[in-house]
Structure 1
Amino acid sequence: MMQLTALAAVADLAKTLPQADAKAAEAALARQNSLTKPPGSLGRLEELAVFMASWRGTARPQIARAQAVVFAGNHGICAQGVNPYPQAVTAQMVGNFQAGGAAINQLCRANGAELSVIALDLDRPTADFTTGPAMTEAETLAAMQTGADAVDVTADVLILGEMGIGNSTIAAAMASALFGGEVAGWVGAGTGSDSEGIKRKIAAIETGLARHKGLSAMGVLAALGGREQAAICGAVLAARAARIPVILDGFICTAAASALYAADPALLDHCLVGHQSAEPGHRKLLTALNKRAVLEFDMRLGEGSGAALALGILRAALACHNGMATFGEAGVSEA
């Protein structure tokens, strides 16, 4: 398994981790162009099939096993009144996931993913980033290692999600620190903050940004992030080491992984974004990452729900790619 020993080493991992398999991608594209359809007529379904081929290293990739992992954490920034719900809700929702009662359970069941939920020290929230770093380097690395260790290297695709009261503030803070711009442009209602709650979120983030300046990308993760954000980063890296494509969820999950992008954009080459969240910062973030979401369904639940829904599209793309007849097999004349 991948062992993460220093935050400063993360930026160099892109040089040693596996790259996309160009030959497999070329063979997959050739197959797409031989199927009984005009070339390119299935649009992004074709692109997704070639993407999967490039990372699984075969012209005809399949999804025999889809793994979904939801990481949960609590945040000291909640002391600043940034969320209308108490932090006890995080543990309560973890229980709901484990009992099978949440949206992510239904979407994983419907789209064929095996779900696990990992709670990270819920009784010990991170520090309030307005007064100091949210996590030490050791705490950040420990959470990243938990995420890395959660990845099943036999999976064909990994779906990532999160749960944590206050973590829409974390996402906006990380995005703002990594990509700049007015803080207000990154901040949304999250779980239902009113206008005063949004003002508190903006004020807390501005205070945090003023306190934590000039940090590296992974330094931003430690100073402003949370354990579930760090775990997401660790899982993304471990998936890359195993050549497993990743489907990120919405704003919070994408913001977590954006620390890796800011360290080296190549670290997210194997990642899709499942959906474009209704959170206002997500569109800006996707532009910054040069990513286009698979779906846009006005969702903003988190939990990995948009990523699990996108898995169904990915399965459909591979069903067409592998199951359609070629012109030669079907006896259909090519133009």
Structure 2
Amino acid sequence: MITTTKNSELEARLQHKIDLKTKPVGALGMLEKIAFQIGCIQQTETPVITRPTIVVFAGDHGIASKGEVNPFPQEVTSQMVYNFVQGGAAINVLSTTNDIHLKVVDAGVNHTFDKDIAITHAKVAMGTKNYQHVPAMTLEELKTAFQHAETIVTDLHKEGVNTIGFGEMGIGNTSSASLLMSYFTQIPIATCVGSGTGLDQNGISKKQRILSEVYQTYNIQNPTEALATFGGFEIAMITAAILKAAELKMTIVIDGFIVTAALLAAHAMQPNVLDYCLFAHTSNEQGHIKMLDFLKVQPILSLGLRLGEGTGAALAIPILRASVNFLQEMASFESAGISGETTP
């Protein structure tokens, strides 16, 4: 069960502390809102960011094996996992730059990795099935994915991680995310579909047609069924990881289009999960801003990113650090002996 972070007495104290720093009220803009939210998540006037970690879940999608909705072949998923392990991906660079721990998880890649490779082995199956014909996964497979993700997040929490972001790798996963977005927001599927990893306009039109046909094939009754029908193993695990992190009262940094699709599922299951989420950025994938508008949330950054991997989260975490640090370390008017503001 995920409880709300709402606490009127604490909120009043936090806002009072923020307002009496040596600055005009509101002058630190979004940093003030971030500090306030993290204080509410941690239920303290002195919040801290400890061992920030990004978990990248990787999985393959049955529809991608045909190459109709993705310009890159399915094999790129496993190749990118090796790139993560070797430190050559964007998320490696940004995590190292910003002193963020990185964990890579095989959620369901269509490849057999050596057991000694430096990843977390949590493979449910060798990729999902093609939802053009059958649901992507069974309910039992979805349950297994949830269990793996819950264990991963619980273990990180035990290691002292209180701030967590999620990334993903999976050729074809923007198609899954578009289907999930349409189901949870009731926005027409064609409006949810973007270029993914680089489709041209003809490719986007074909993708819209194929996914519209898929969407109309199924009569989905609930969020769990939606995830099993349209999701990837990486998306399912991110959904479960978000839910478990919120249950453990961790600060959750939501990345771009795919991770927000997973959050839509988590939010449908447990609405209070939003209390624990900060939104790293606005993706350049066309559906993402519509997702954020649906959730009525404000992203921290807007950099034109559409890479995934958790790169937006890695760029936003230093801003979270700056926010809690100003709350902790910045002088108040009273402590600095500055005139012009008085304690009410």
For 2:25 and 2:67, locate their aligned partners in 1 and report how far apart those are by CA, in whole Å.
54
Using the TM superposition, give the Cα deviation of residue 59 of structure 1 relative to its aligned residue in structure 2, in angstroms.
0.7
1:257 aligns with 2:263: yes
Contact persistence 1:80–1:204 (CA under 8 A): no
TM-score where L is the length of structure 2:
0.90
1:145 aligns with 2:147: yes
1:28 equivalent in structure 2: 14
Q: What amino acid maps onto 2:251 in structure 1?
A: P
Describe how 1:40-59 pairs up with structure 2 within 5 A.
40-59=26-45
Change (3 A) 1:64 1:266: closer
1:218 aligns with 2:224: yes
Describe how 1:91-170 pairs up with structure 2 within 5 A.
91-123=78-110, 124-151=126-153, 152-153=156-157, 154-170=160-176
1:39 equivalent in structure 2: 25
Contact persistence 1:69–1:161 (CA under 8 A): yes
For 1:280 and 1:121, locate their aligned partners in 2 and report how far apart those are by CA, in whole Å.
26
For 2:4 and 2:278, locate their aligned partners in 1 and report how far apart those are by CA, in whole Å.
15
- Gapped runs of 5+ residues in structure 1? 1-15
Using the TM superposition, give the Cα deviation of residue 191 of structure 1 relative to its aligned residue in structure 2, in angstroms.
0.6
Using the TM superposition, give the Cα deviation of residue 80 of structure 1 relative to its aligned residue in structure 2, in angstroms.
5.7
2:73 equivalent in structure 1: 86
Describe how 1:195-210 pairs up with structure 2 within 5 A.
195-210=201-216
Change (3 A) 1:39 1:162: same
For 2:209 and 2:289, locate their aligned partners in 1 and report how far apart those are by CA, in whole Å.
22
1:17 equivalent in structure 2: 2
Describe how 1:286-301 pairs up with structure 2 within 5 A.
286-301=292-307
Using the TM superposition, give the Cα deviation of residue 214 of structure 1 relative to its aligned residue in structure 2, in angstroms.
3.5
TM-score where L is the length of structure 1:
0.92
Cα RMSD of the aligned pairs, angstroms, is: 1.4
Q: What amino acid maps onto 1:92 in structure 2?
A: Q
* Deviation string, structure 1 residues 71-118 (Cα, Å, up to 9, x no partner): 000001112611011111101111111111111111111222100000
For 1:50 and 1:306, locate their aligned partners in 2 and report how far apart those are by CA, in whole Å.
21
Structure 1 SS opposite 2:305 = coil
Contact persistence 2:61–2:172 (CA under 8 A): yes
Moved more, 224-233 or 179-188: 179-188
> Number of paired residues?
320
Contact persistence 1:185–1:281 (CA under 8 A): yes
For 2:130 and 2:223, locate their aligned partners in 1 and report how far apart those are by CA, in whole Å.
19
- Gapped runs of 5+ residues in structure 2? 111-125
Q: What amino acid maps onto 2:49 in structure 1?
A: I
For 2:188 and 2:108, locate their aligned partners in 1 and report how far apart those are by CA, in whole Å.
32
Using the TM superposition, give the Cα deviation of residue 312 of structure 1 relative to its aligned residue in structure 2, in angstroms.
1.3
